[in-house]
Amino acid sequence: MVSIQSRPDPELLRDGIKVPVKETLLTPRFYTTDYDKVAKMDTSLQQAELEAVVEELRTDYNRNHFKRDQEFEQSWEHIDQETRAAFIDFLERSCTSEFSGFLLFKELSRQLKERNPLLSEAFNLMARDEARHAGFLNKAMKDFHLSLDLVNMTKKRSYTFFKPEWVIYSVYLSEKIGYWRYILVHYHMQKNPENRFYPLFKYFESWCQDENRHGDFFKVLLRSQPELWGTWQAKLWARFFLLTVFVTHTITVFERADFYKSIGLDARQYNKEVIVNTNHTAISAFPAVLDTSHPQFFPRLEKCVDYNLKLMAINESDRPQFVKNLQKLPLFVAIVWQLLLVYLTKPIDAEAQRGEVH
């Protein structure tokens, strides 16, 4: 088991406003896309399914869910420093991720309002959910005398351009892997209530249903575009995004091993369960998925964790930058090699799997 070192106290900007974590390939990013292309999407192949998903979003099952009860009204100073630091890291990254989704969905809704009203409404409803999640997480941070200046983050964070098809693949996976992350923690807490050291965890069951509904919307959007599932290029892209999401998840979970330990979970086993379930779920949307049962699948992902830890150690050293770059190069090559081996492993034909079910 790889474990991270105890984190130092969070850096502050002013009066409990936390300095955001440094942007890296692993931190949640803010995205923009080709709004005109999204507005022109023909969704007629899945029109009935799209209207059904939007109607479910309108129902707003969680309208009264994200309200803090009396259990929050206490001091949390009794939580030990290591658990506290790990939990704050979890809250910050989760809050940033939810806020990133809010910004993307809100802008999509605004840009599509006059040109594609149904899609515009769907994105607006999902932005509503993401805003609730981000706000609820930020309030949780305030219990630890910290918070994120989300408004200021919109001005200072860099935005990454993703083509619409990349957005559809990646957000579908982000929402579905989010569902499995939350629901598995929920199941664990049901069996081990003594590990629930903070009331946020009791909100995970309904919370993950928002993630699931968002994923269902992007599944319908994906299946409405034949070029995203009916071509050989689509199979390559699907595997690429699955691999990207899974290696990022693996590295992040192992980096947060002490957080999962604090709630009684084994990071390695948790990571495997999340990935296997997400990969299986993707069979219903993607043209091809990865073979997570291959004996080298998880060992290769975990080798990337080890290489990443070595990269982090190099970054924290006081050596000259050009020396660091030279030291990091073989590690980058090693990570790419491991991922290439996973990518080239014979995939599972999801279209054939769906045919067998039907």
Report the pLDDT value the prediction gives residue 17, as an integer from 0 to 100: 54
Q: Return d(Cα 239, Cα 139) in angstroms, integer.
A: 37
SS3 content of the chain, % helix, strand, coil (to 5): 70, 5, 25
Report the pLDDT value the prediction gives residue 26, as an integer from 0 to 100: 47
Report the pLDDT value the prediction gives residue 146, as an integer from 0 to 100: 86
Percent of the chain scoring above 70 in pLDDT? 91
Determine the straight-line distance between the first and last CA of the chain, rounded to whole angstroms: 41
pLDDT, tens only, 290-329: 999 999 999 999 999 999 999 989 988 888 999 888 999 9
117 pLDDT exceeds 60? Answer: yes
Q: Return d(Cα 318, Cα 335) in angstroms, integer.
A: 24
The sign one gets for the Cα dihedral 253, 127, 108, 53 is: positive
Report the pLDDT value the prediction gives residue 157, as an integer from 0 to 100: 73
11 pLDDT exceeds 60? Answer: no
Q: Which residue has the higher pLDDT, 80 or 156?
A: 80
21 pLDDT exceeds 80? Answer: no
31 pLDDT exceeds 50? Answer: yes
Mean pLDDT of the chain: 89
- Has domain 12-68+75-290 been given CATH number 1.20.120? no
pLDDT, tens only, 232-273: 999 999 999 999 999 999 999 998 898 999 999 999 999 999
Pick the range with the lowest mean pLDDT from 284-288, 316-320, 334-338: 316-320
pLDDT, tens only, 154-208: 777 778 899 999 999 999 999 999 999 999 999 999 999 999 999 999 999 988 9
Q: Are 170 and 285 in contact (CB under 8 A)?
A: no
**Residue 14 pairs with which residues in a beta bridge?**
17
Tell me the mean pLDDT in the region 114-143.
Answer: 94
Q: Return d(Cα 319, Cα 309) in angstroms, integer.
A: 17
Report the pLDDT value the prediction gives residue 29, as an integer from 0 to 100: 74
pLDDT band at 345 (very low <50, low <70, confident <90, very high): very high
Domain boundaries, the chain: 12-68+75-290
CA-angle at 91, arms to 58 and 276, nearest 5°? 70
Residue 12 phi/psi, 5-degree rounding, is: -115, 145
Q: Are 210 and 247 in contact (CB under 8 A)?
A: no
DSSP class of residue 18? E
Looking up tokens 């007629």 gives 44
Q: Return d(Cα 305, Cα 254) in angstroms, integer.
A: 7
Q: DSSP string covering 154-189, please?
A: HHHS-EEE--HHHHHHHHHHHHHHHHHHHHHHHHHH
Helix (H, G, I), strand (E, B) or coil at 256: coil
How many CB atoms within 10 Å of residue 34? Answer: 15
